[in-house]
């Protein structure tokens, strides 16, 4: 009876009216571009010229493009540099702000501020801090280490950009860990204390196993984000990617190749397909690691 | 809460052990030792200096006059004679208030389209029966998994085909109804008890009335999360506006800042003033609505 009432009060078209705006936007600006990226990757399309089908020519060109390998190297290094720090440091930070001592809500919010700020603002703040004459170098000189060219050396630049990514992400993952820590039963810690385990021992044998699945989640989220890094490196190394373009990341290469009036849409699409493939592979890899750990 | 917790909470203090030090307790109502408290605050202050310090340094730089040495070693943390001179200079160099207005327009539009679009679609997925509902849900899940960075070039050519590149509408459209927001709203609607809506059918309410009068007011919290993340996402976005906007008069704040930095990189006071203008509104918003910011992280992470 209830079902027939429902059907009569609901015109057959109304569910589609409800879903229409969302479906239209998603279809036109996410799914259609996704499909057209795949299609374009097999053409020599340019911004102002319609493309012809060229088979795998773009992908063959990739293999001989030094810039592609530079981009792939930097984006992969970015995962290696950023992910371990973003899995461990926010967990330690969460443990630090977990106890409800006076003023702790202030500290929690303050630690979250870099997450709220635009990546452009964050990038420019650090460009000035790490400048040859900036605050960090002034401090280093004061304590007698001397000035360091953070933004002029190819590798130091990449490392600095990674540090900025970690700095901006700390608060975000801290909040995720806080939610996970709230679910760790206190009895476990107490039992371990009674057995004579110190804080370090309890961290490794109680806390880490209890938040292990959250650590996997953080690893998945941060590795996918790290591989797609664009803004930090673009702002700190400049649009051309630092000395001789050696700090170019894969997404920077996509942006540089595919945009503007002379953009090589076909080739940039082939680069994008590589971004997809690696992103999907990363997610599958992390999920598989998770399942293996559980069994 | 276990019975053990309750017992410990109500257990009276043994007489004669009144402490002179202030009694600080943790979330379980147990006292935190003074030594531990000291090193905790020390660490907290150190992290505070690392996370908030850079913002304050930028603010301090932006307030220094043209004659003050900003490169001095050892550095001085406070401006000798604070001045707003650099802020007027930014406005003379780039149309920074127009850029702020553009950012505000984009962010406001993004809030409206995301709240309306995701509430409607979320309600359809959660409460309405129609053929193709599963496929529709799957479409949104798949869309959520597509990395934006991988499709920006195709989004750019799509915008060109529509004649919308280099317009603020073009900036808004691709993120106008985020797939993740649709799924967040769907879950919020599914979490509501069905009985109230069932009572409303019986009373003769049609689907729009049930949506607007009954379901929507009950998910205000999630809607607020969607609104805040829509605002923050639009205000902070960089890659997409960088690609779609080429006319400097249409720039949003982030693109304007990038331009300012690219052209006047040597003028640190000027760039600092620009960044403070861009970040201040969001920090103010965050200070007022922290609850929703944190809630959004939790909900987003679980679904993402």
Q: pLDDT tens digits for A188-224?
A: 888 888 888 888 888 888 888 889 889 998 998 899 9
Question: Taking 50 as the threshold, does the pLDDT of residue B17 lie above it?
Answer: no
Supply the pLDDT for residue A161: 95
pLDDT of residue B207: 87
Only one residue has tokens 């950012």, namely: B103
The pLDDT-based confidence of B298 (bands split at 50, 70, 90) is low
Question: Which string of b and e fits B175-209 if b means at least 16 CB within 10 Å?
Answer: bbbbbbbbbbbbbbbeeeeeeebeebbeeebebee
Tell me what pLDDT residue A102 has.
Answer: 87
Nearest CA in chain A to B294: A175
Average pLDDT over residues B75-95: 87
Nearest Cα residue in chain A from B239: A231
B244-254 pLDDT tens trace: 998 899 999 99
For residues A46, A48, A53, A57, the Cα torsion angle rounded to the nearest 10 degrees is -20
Q: Is B301 on the interface with A (CB under 8 A)?
A: yes
Q: Indicate the fold that domain A59-294 takes in CATH.
A: MetI-like fold (1.10.3720)
Instruction: Give residue B3's region: left, alpha or beta (phi > 0; psi -120 to 50).
Output: alpha
Q: Span B77-105, mean pLDDT?
A: 90
Nearest residue of B to residue A186 by CA position? Answer: B28
Residue spans of chain A under pLDDT 50: 1-8
> What domains, with CATH codes, occur in chain B?
34-83 (no CATH), 94-303 (1.10.3720.10)
B259 touches chain A (CB under 8 A): no
Residue B141 forms contact with A (CB below 8 Å): no
A268 φ/ψ angles, rounded to the nearest 5 degrees: -60, -35
Instruction: Provide the pLDDT confidence category of residue B52 given band limits of 50, 70 and 90.
Output: very high
Q: Is the pLDDT of residue B1 over 70?
A: no
Task: Give residue limits of the domains in chain A.
Answer: 2-40, 59-294
ipTM of the complex: 0.88
pLDDT > 90? residue B289: no
CB contact under 8 A, A111 and B120: no
Looking at residue A99, what is its pLDDT?
84
Sign for the CA dihedral angle at A31, A33, A36, A42 comes to: negative
């Amino acid at each position: 009876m209830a079902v027939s009432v429902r059907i009569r009060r609901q015109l057959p078209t109304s569910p589609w009216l409800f879903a229409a705006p969302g479906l239209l936007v998603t279809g036109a600006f996410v799914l259609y571009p996704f499909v057209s990226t795949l299609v374009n990757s097999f053409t020599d399309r340019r911004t102002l010229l319609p493309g012809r089908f060229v088979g795998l020519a773009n992908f063959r060109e990739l293999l001989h493009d030094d810039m592609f390998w530079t981009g792939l190297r930097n984006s992969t290094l970015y995962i290696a540099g950023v992910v371990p720090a973003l899995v461990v440091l926010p967990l330690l930070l969460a443990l630090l702000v977990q106890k409800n001592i006076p003023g702790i809500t202030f500290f929690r919010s303050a630690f979250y501020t870099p997450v709220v700020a635009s990546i452009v603002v964050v990038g420019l703040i650090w460009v000035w801090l790490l400048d040859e004459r900036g605050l960090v170098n002034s401090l280093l000189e004061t304590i007698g280490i001397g000035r360091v060219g953070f933004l002029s050396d190819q590798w130091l630049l990449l490392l600095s950009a990674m540090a900025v990514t970690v700095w901006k992400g700390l608060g975000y993952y801290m909040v995720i860990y806080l939610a996970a820590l709230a679910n760790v039963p206190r009895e476990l810690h107490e039992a371990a204390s009674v057995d004579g385990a110190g804080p370090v021992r309890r961290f490794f044998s109680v806390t880490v196993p209890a938040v292990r699945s959250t650590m996997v989640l953080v690893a998945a989220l941060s590795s996918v984000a790290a591989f797609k890094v664009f803004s930090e490196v673009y702002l700190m190394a400049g649009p051309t990617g630092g000395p001789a373009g050696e700090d170019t990341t894969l997404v920077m290469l996509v942006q540089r190749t595919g945009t503007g009036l002379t953009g090589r849409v076909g080739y940039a699409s082939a680069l994008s397909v590589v971004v997809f493939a690696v992103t999907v592979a990363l997610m599958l890899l992390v999920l598989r690691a998770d399942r293996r750990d559980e069994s | 809460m276990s019975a053990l917790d309750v017992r410990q909470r109500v257990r009276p203090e043994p007489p004669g052990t009144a402490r002179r030090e202030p009694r600080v307790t943790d979330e379980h109502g147990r006292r935190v030792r003074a030594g531990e408290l000291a090193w905790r605050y020390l660490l907290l202050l150190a992290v505070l200096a690392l996370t908030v310090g850079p913002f304050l340094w930028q603010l301090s730089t932006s307030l220094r006059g043209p004659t003050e040495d900003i490169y001095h070693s050892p550095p001085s943390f406070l401006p000798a004679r604070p001045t707003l001179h650099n802020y007027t200079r930014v406005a003379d160099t780039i149309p920074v208030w127009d850029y702020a207005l553009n950012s505000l327009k984009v962010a406001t539009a993004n809030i409206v389209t995301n709240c309306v679009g995701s509430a409607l679609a979320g309600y359809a997925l959660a409460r309405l029966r129609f053929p193709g509902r599963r496929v529709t849900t799957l479409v949104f899940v798949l869309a959520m998994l597509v990395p934006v960075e991988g499709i920006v070039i195709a989004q750019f050519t799509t915008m060109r085909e529509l004649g919308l590149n280099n317009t603020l509408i073009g900036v808004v459209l691709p993120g106008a109804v985020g797939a993740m927001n649709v799924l967040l709203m769907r879950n919020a609607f599914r979490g509501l008890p069905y009985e109230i809506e069932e009572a409303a059918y019986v009373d003769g309410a049609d689907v729009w009335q049930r949506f607007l009068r009954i379901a929507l007011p009950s998910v205000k919290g999630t809607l607020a999360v969607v609104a805040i993340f829509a605002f923050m996402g639009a205000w902070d976005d960089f890659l997409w506006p960088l690609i779609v906007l080429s006319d400097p008069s249409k720039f949003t704040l982030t693109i304007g800042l990038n331009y300012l930095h690219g052209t006047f990189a040597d003028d640190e006071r000027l760039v600092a003033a620009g960044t403070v203008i861009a970040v201040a509104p969001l920090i103010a918003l965050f200070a007022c609505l922290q609850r929703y910011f944190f809630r959004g992280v939790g909900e987003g992470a679980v679904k993402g």
